[in-house]
Amino acid sequence: MTNRILRLIAVLFALALSPLPALAQGTDFTAMVQALGQGGFPDREAAMNALVATGDERVPPILQAMSDGTLFVRKSDQRVLFAAKSGSEFKLTDPVDSSNAGTATSKDIEKVKVNNGLRGKIRTAIGTMTLLSPDRASRLSAAQSILKNADPAMLPLLDSALAAETDPAIKSTMDLARAVIVLKSDATLDDKRAAVDTIAAHGDLDAQTVLVNALAAAPDELKPTIQTGIDAIGRNLQIWQVAQNLLYGVSLSSVLLLAAIGLSITFGVMGIINMAHGEMVMLGAYTTFVVQELIRNFAPGLMDYSLAFAVPAAFLFTALVGIAIERGIIRWLYGRPLETLLATWGLSLALQQMVRTLFGPTNQMVSPPSWMTGAFDVGGLSITWNRLWIVVFAIAVFVILQLVLNRTALGLQMRAVTQNRRMASSMGIRTPFVDAMTFGLGSGIAGMAGVALSQIDNVSPNLGQGYIIDSFMVVVFGGVGNLWGTLIGALMLGVGNKLLEPQFGAVLGKIIILVLIILFIQWRPRGLFALKGRSIEQ
Amino acid sequence: MTVVNRMIAGLGLGVTMTMGAIAVPAFAADDTIKVGVLHSLSGTMAISETTLKDTMLFLIDEQNKKGGLLGKQLEAVVVDPASDWPLFAEKARELIAVDGVAAVFGCWTSSSRKSVLPVFKELNSILFYPVQYEGEESEKNVIYTGAAPNQQAIPAVDYLMSEEGGSVKRWVLEATDYVYPRTTNKILEQYLLDKGVAAEDIKINYTPFGFADWQTEVAAIKEFGSAGKKTAVVSTINGDANTPFYKELANQGVSAEDIPVVAFSVGEEELAGLDTTNLVGHLAAWNYFQSVDTPENAAFIGAWHTYIGNDTRTTNDPMEAAYLGFNLWVAAVEKAGTTDTDAVLKAIVGLSVPNLTGGTATVLPNHHLTKPVLIGEIQADGQFEIVKQTVEVPGDAWSDVLPEDKGIEADWTDPLTGCGHLDTATKTCGAAPAS
């Protein structure tokens, strides 16, 4: 019952909003829908307002489709229809009575165009119509859209919605929206003061925007209150800002760590200057693309788990490529670092060109799984899911690698060969086999890094080049041959970079970091954690 | 399109590419006219330039099917300058001096263009340059078929300032640190200040090439945009850095309704590697979009798909510029009756050919073209929805916005006595300022 009354209020409110004379409920709803397909953006907006004024339940899905670009006009009879793409054809549905309207090719139908301005208005319109929706997600987005476009005319509707709302997150957004509206309306000074407090208590960037906007238009008595609110938010934000920058730094560090950790095995442990390391990362990213493409074609339902398949696939593939490279090229060049450098450099160019020939020079699309998109807020921090997962992944890779090196027979042999090849050999360790396995492990880890990087960077033949210098920097800075050094090195470089960036800009920040590293290497040529013992004397 | 198909297509492409390069010396006969194609097929720029090489081969193939030029068949000479600027000059010299090509179609970055300029001057040949660029140049031996800043950047800013575009009052100029964004931003900043935008409402930020970690920058854009005035980002971010930039925008939830981003270097090709679902509404300004609905464009796309054997390959603005440049050259050679450089340069000024957006492209005396400006919004399918299209705008080599360029024009109506930096007030032909 209350629901029905509320809905009535919503309709009345929508009527008040509409610039057109309210069309009676009896007029032809179909004709109003068809009007969406005619004329330019202003005509379309008028048609939309007329539709909103009906308060009809069928309107929000139509508007949503319009905003999503799935509302089309059939050229033959100018009918406005939902169109869902299936294969090369579009399946058409009538938005008014949901009846099937046949199929069409892209030549027969034309999209109902919207631009940014209209899209914003559609969002607000949907917001007003779905504020009382039983669905939590649409209520939340409705509350957010009302907050963005606070209109005093919405106050009665919002009040009734607030009274019925039970979800704390939505309630808090609605409270904020209400406060913003009160600030704009001609409420009493006391009400407005309370509203400023409510907004200031939110303490985020949006709240600050609202108050800055309100300051100019506020009466003089209110200005000091608003200014205090802005200052309070500003102080609050400044503290969070530092934390946020640290977080960005940790996130950059995780990327550096992933890119460098494979190198710290091949370069650090084996002493091979592998210029094709970046290409292993690139191959890992392309493996992700191929895996996703296979899943898209054969098992679309598994798309969200594509990365779970891509990680082992990338590891195996790049590890095999790595072993092939070691057996085919590098083992002939042990002890000749210059030749190794040139050979692997040439190899990196060859790999790039091979990928370019196979897949074409353009970027390939790796789609993010749904659990890696978007962001969430913790206090004043905004954390994006993909970055968070990459941090988790980097830590997992680091821990597993430590376990492999310290707890397995292969790891023991690797360390033995590193420390004293001849002694290890005389103890019966097959050093050529261990060499191949170590190089394969390093390459495989680079491939796994590629899976993670495919989520944030271009999947193009040049992907690896962007990381090779940073990787060497991290390994050299951290101390050759020490995984902990690589971890600490990546953390220091990442966090340092992100702390410098806001002050000096990205270009200068990077230069400062480079200069600092050069100075540091002068002081400690073996990096942060230098290996001790006989191996370094070789 | 399966992976296997793609691989086969890729292999096929590779084979034609190699054959194109190898087949050349075999036909060194007098019954062909040679055309140089100078685009990087390896290295960083291969991502953009390989398509243009394919476009040139496609256009030459089409022309040969129509009977060639002056009764002779055209023959493409493809070289690979490998994204290496000095190598561009070497390869250009090789094309002109060794292969004897009649004209060269090529270059992408301004650095590569600047690198080949002395070669074209010395050997007196013609370069058709198909990419939008920063302006501030007009040379006798170059025809600029891409946009000058007044044909892309300024109309885009005008659109965002208009009510239709959202009445933007606050601007972030986000750019990669090299010559094109630096010059474009210099022009844009002056233009915005002239339009009454306060200096504190303009923020310019530069990042290095291939920049991949945009967290701080995107957060800074959000913060700058929270000052209560409608904010927009004008992006001159270069190629590779765009994907991580847009991914970060999508992740941090910067929607086009709040802070629209208008880009000058992002087209259909660049979007191919991106999931655009969360980027709907962000803008790009070009002189052509694949989604242009004209019969000419439909025919062009159809022929291109047939030629390349892949009906998902996109078309883009530099491709249209290459198409215009090639057609203008053909028309000029036909008018002049010879491929001699000076005769063709004399014939080409004032020539018009139809473009793909339903208008015509005319070569102006300053060697730039008239082009319409199109503003498009990114759609979920990776295409652009055109929200604004202007009439043809004449390209301005020396920006009228910059005080030092006021009254400077270029006139190559007569290629022998023309001038690339003519002071209209004093009627003197000064040397272009060193850049």
Q: What is the pTM of this model?
A: 0.83
CB A473 within 8 A of CB A264: no
Pairing of strands A89-93, A80-86: antiparallel
Q: What are phi and psi of A298, to 5 degrees?
A: -110, -30
* Whole-angstrom distance, CA of residue B338 vs CA of residue B209: 43
Q: Report the gap between the CA of A487 and the closest CA in chain B (Å).
A: 19
Tell me the two tokens of residue A490. Answer: 């990546």
Chain B window 343-402: which residues touch A at a Cβ cutoff of 8 Å?
A: 377, 379-380, 385, 387
The answer to whether B6 faces chain A, any CB pair under 8 Å, is: yes
Chain B window 219-238: which residues touch A at a Cβ cutoff of 8 Å?
A: 219-220, 222-223, 226-228
pLDDT computed for residue B210 by the predictor: 82
**Segment (H or E) for A381:** strand A381-384
Beta strands in B95-222 (DSSP E): 103-106, 127-129, 142-144, 170-176, 202-207
Chain A window 178-237: which residues touch B at a Cβ cutoff of 8 Å?
A: 205-206, 208-209, 212-213, 216
**Segment (H or E) for A155:** helix A155-164
| Span A483-517, pLDDT tens digits | 899 999 999 999 999 999 888 888 899 899 999 99
Coil, helix or strand at residue B380: coil
Pairing of strands A100-104, A89-93: antiparallel
ipTM of the complex: 0.80
* Whole-angstrom distance, CA of residue A209 vs CA of residue A234: 11
Chain A window 258-297: which residues touch B at a Cβ cutoff of 8 Å?
A: 290, 293-294, 297
User: Which of A379-388, A394-403, B51-60, B116-125 comes out lowest in average pLDDT?
Assistant: A379-388
User: Which of A167-171, A322-326, B66-70 comes out lowest in average pLDDT?
Assistant: A167-171
**Segment (H or E) for B177:** none
| Span B385-431, pLDDT tens digits | 999 999 999 999 998 888 888 888 888 988 888 888 888 888 888 76
Q: Of A110, A248, A357, which to mutate for an interface test with B (greatest number of B Cβ within 10 Å)?
A: A357
* Whole-angstrom distance, CA of residue A54 vs CA of residue A61: 14
Provide Rg for chain B, Cα atoms: 21
With 60 as the cut, is the pLDDT of residue A86 above it? yes
Q: What is the CATH number of domain B150-291+375-394?
A: 3.40.50.2300
* pLDDT, mean over chain A: 85
Q: Tell the CATH topology of B3-147+293-371.
A: Rossmann fold (3.40.50)
**Stretch A465-484: mean pLDDT:** 88
Q: State which amino acid sits at residue B378.
A: I
| Span A182-203, pLDDT tens digits | 887 777 888 888 888 888 887 7
Asked if B42 lies within 8 A of A353 by C-beta distance, the reply is: yes
Asked if B244 lies within 8 A of A365 by C-beta distance, the reply is: no
Q: Report the gap between the CA of B242 and the closest CA in chain A (Å).
A: 8
Which residue among A120, A460, A461 sits closest to B257, beta carbon to beta carbon?
A120
Which residues have C-beta within 8 Å of that of residue A29, sequence separation ≥ 6?
A54, A56, A58, A96
Please choose, from the candidates B118, B164, B193, B198, the residue with its C-alpha nearest in 3D space to the C-alpha of residue B387: B164
Neighbours of B93 (CB within 10 A): 17
pLDDT computed for residue A533 by the predictor: 54
Residue B252's alpha-carbon distances to A168, A376, A483, B138, B425, in angstroms, are 23, 9, 32, 42, 51
- In this structure, is the dihedral angle defined by the CA atoms of residues A529, A530, A532 and A538, taken in order, positive or negative? positive
Q: What are phi and psi of A415, to 5 degrees?
A: -65, -40
pLDDT computed for residue A4 by the predictor: 59
Q: Report the gap between the CA of B76 and the closest CA in chain A (Å).
A: 20
Chain A hits for B253, Cβ within 8 Å: 374-375
* Whole-angstrom distance, CA of residue B420 vs CA of residue B432: 8
Tell me the two tokens of residue B424. Answer: 């209209």
Q: Where are the domains of chain A?
A: 2-130, 144-221, 240-537
pLDDT computed for residue B96 by the predictor: 96
Residue B37's alpha-carbon distances to A112, A173, B51, B56, B113, in angstroms, are 41, 59, 12, 7, 13
Asked if B177 lies within 8 A of A119 by C-beta distance, the reply is: no
pLDDT computed for residue B290 by the predictor: 95
Q: Report the gap between the CA of A508 and the closest CA in chain B (Å).
A: 9
Which residue does chain B place closest to A286, by CA atoms?
A: B3
Tell me the two tokens of residue B384. Answer: 């652009």
Which residues have C-beta within 8 Å of that of residue A144, sequence separation ≥ 6?
A127, A173
Chain B window 45-64: which residues touch A at a Cβ cutoff of 8 Å?
A: 46-48, 50-51
Q: Report the gap between the CA of A377 and the closest CA in chain B (Å).
A: 11
Partners of B368 in beta bridges: B144
Asked if B215 lies within 8 A of A297 by C-beta distance, the reply is: no
The answer to whether B305 faces chain A, any CB pair under 8 Å, is: no
Asked if A117 lies within 8 A of B164 by C-beta distance, the reply is: yes
The answer to whether A384 faces chain B, any CB pair under 8 Å, is: yes
Which residue among A113, A123, A373 sits closest to B385, beta carbon to beta carbon?
A113
With 50 as the cut, is the pLDDT of residue A215 above it? yes
Asked if A358 lies within 8 A of B11 by C-beta distance, the reply is: yes
Q: What DSSP letter does each residue of A223-287 carry, written as one string?
A: HHHHHHHHHHHHHHHHHHHHHHHHHHHHHHHHHHHHHHHHHIIIIIIT----TTHHHHHHHHHHH
Chain A, chain B: beta-carbon pairs less than 8 Å apart: 175
Chain A window 30-89: which residues touch B at a Cβ cutoff of 8 Å?
A: 41, 68-69
**Stretch A73-102: mean pLDDT:** 84
* Whole-angstrom distance, CA of residue A496 vs CA of residue A498: 6
pLDDT computed for residue A532 by the predictor: 63
* Whole-angstrom distance, CA of residue A392 vs CA of residue A311: 14
pLDDT computed for residue A520 by the predictor: 92
Q: Report the gap between the CA of A535 and the closest CA in chain B (Å).
A: 36
Chain B window 21-50: which residues touch A at a Cβ cutoff of 8 Å?
A: 42, 44, 46-48, 50
pLDDT computed for residue A22 by the predictor: 42
pLDDT tens string, chain B, 435 residues long: the values are: 444 444 444 444 444 444 444 444 444 456 899 999 999 998 878 888 999 999 999 999 999 999 999 999 999 999 999 889 999 999 999 999 999 999 999 999 888 999 999 999 999 999 999 999 999 899 999 999 999 999 999 999 999 999 888 899 999 999 998 888 999 999 999 999 999 999 999 999 999 888 888 999 999 999 898 887 899 999 999 877 888 899 899 888 888 988 999 999 888 888 887 888 888 999 999 999 999 989 999 999 999 999 999 888 899 999 999 999 999 999 999 999 999 999 999 999 999 999 999 999 999 999 999 999 999 999 988 899 999 999 999 999 998 888 888 888 888 988 888 888 888 888 888 765 554
Cα angle value A206/A207/A211 (rounded, 5°): 120
Q: What are phi and psi of A4, to 5 degrees?
A: -65, -40
Q: Cα A160 to chain center, whole Å? A: 36
Coil, helix or strand at residue B84: coil
**How buried is residue B41: exposed, middle or buried, by Cβ count under 10 Å (0-12/13-18/19+)?**
buried
CB A177 within 8 A of CB A150: yes
pLDDT computed for residue B273 by the predictor: 76
Q: Report the gap between the CA of B385 and the closest CA in chain A (Å).
A: 8
Which residue does chain B place closest to A289, by CA atoms?
A: B3
User: Which of A12-26, A43-57, A382-396, B398-412 comes out lowest in average pLDDT?
Assistant: A12-26
Asked if A375 lies within 8 A of B278 by C-beta distance, the reply is: no
Which residues have C-beta within 8 Å of that of residue B378, sequence separation ≥ 6?
B256, B271, B276, B279, B280, B281, B282, B283, B284, B384
CB B369 within 8 A of CB B380: no
Tell me the two tokens of residue B219. Answer: 């957060």
- Residue A63's pLDDT band (cuts 50, 70, 90): confident
Q: What DSSP letter does each residue of B196-246 carry, written as one string?
A: T--GGGEEEEEE-TT----HHHHHHHHHHTTSSS-EEEEEE--GGGHHHHH
Which residue among B42, B206, B250 sits closest to A507, beta carbon to beta carbon?
B206
Q: How many distinct helices (H) and strands (E) make up chain A?
A: 20, 7
* Whole-angstrom distance, CA of residue B82 vs CA of residue B163: 45
**Stretch A73-94: mean pLDDT:** 84
Asked if A290 lies within 8 A of B216 by C-beta distance, the reply is: no
Which residue among A41, A116, A212 sits closest to B228, beta carbon to beta carbon?
A212
Q: Report the gap between the CA of A212 and the closest CA in chain B (Å).
A: 6
Most confidently modeled of A104-118, A362-376, A416-430, B174-188? Answer: B174-188
pLDDT computed for residue A13 by the predictor: 54
Asked if B240 lies within 8 A of A460 by C-beta distance, the reply is: yes
Chain A window 443-462: which residues touch B at a Cβ cutoff of 8 Å?
A: 455-462
Please choose, from the candidates A283, A288, A273, A436, the residue with its C-alpha nearest in 3D space to the C-alpha of residue A346: A273
Asked if B215 lies within 8 A of A252 by C-beta distance, the reply is: yes
* Whole-angstrom distance, CA of residue B214 vs CA of residue A142: 30
Q: Report the gap between the CA of A404 and the closest CA in chain B (Å).
A: 30
Q: Of A287, A295, A458, A500, which to mutate for an interface test with B (greatest number of B Cβ within 10 Å)?
A: A458
User: Which of A258-262, A378-382, A389-393, B314-318 comes out lowest in average pLDDT?
Assistant: A378-382
| Span A253-289, pLDDT tens digits | 999 999 999 998 888 778 888 999 999 999 999 999 9
Chain A hits for B280, Cβ within 8 Å: 69, 119
pLDDT computed for residue A111 by the predictor: 84
In chain B, CATH 3.40.50.2300 covers 3-147+293-371, 150-291+375-394
CB A520 within 8 A of CB A477: yes
With 80 as the cut, is the pLDDT of residue A307 above it? yes
Cα angle value A452/B43/B46 (rounded, 5°): 90
Q: Percent of chain A scored above 70 by pLDDT?
A: 93
Provide Rg for chain A, Cα atoms: 30
Tell me the two tokens of residue B269. Answer: 């090709």
Domain A240-537 is of which CATH architecture? Orthogonal Bundle (1.10)
Tell me the two tokens of residue A245. Answer: 């920058």
pLDDT computed for residue B86 by the predictor: 93
CB B130 within 8 A of CB B37: no
